[in-house]
Structure 1
Amino acid sequence: NRSEALRTLGRYASNKELSFTWYDAAVLSQKIRQTVPPPKRQLPNARFRFPRATDNSGFDRLS
């Protein structure tokens, strides 16, 4: 999981007992972001259906 890996890098960088620096975390997180595609976000289902502004419903014509 991408976000979990990024959090782990931050935890390692903040641990003073390790020789893992914030620079190391930044370099590795940049590589992760470049190689791993971001997760696809699912949009919630719409509760209502409205016509789009480009839809031609015929209401703009005067009869």
Structure 2
Amino acid sequence: MGNAFEMIAVGNNCPGYTPMYDGFQAISAESETKSCRNCSHFEKGICNIDYYDKVVSSLDQA
């Protein structure tokens, strides 16, 4: 996985981004910014729906 800036860029451009929620609210204040780190599909440092590499590749082509 990339650095924090790359994870934010991926989160902002990922069609599968789903914020983590604890009942009614986001888990942390950090979650106001889309990032892989606060996506429900990001587990143990890996995107479990395989979008990370695809989104990074599309960012590189832009």
Same fold (TM > 0.5): no
Q: Max radius of gyration: which structure?
A: 1
Considering fraction of residues, name the structure with more strand: 2
Higher relative contact order (Cα pairs below 8 Å, separated by 6+ residues)? 2
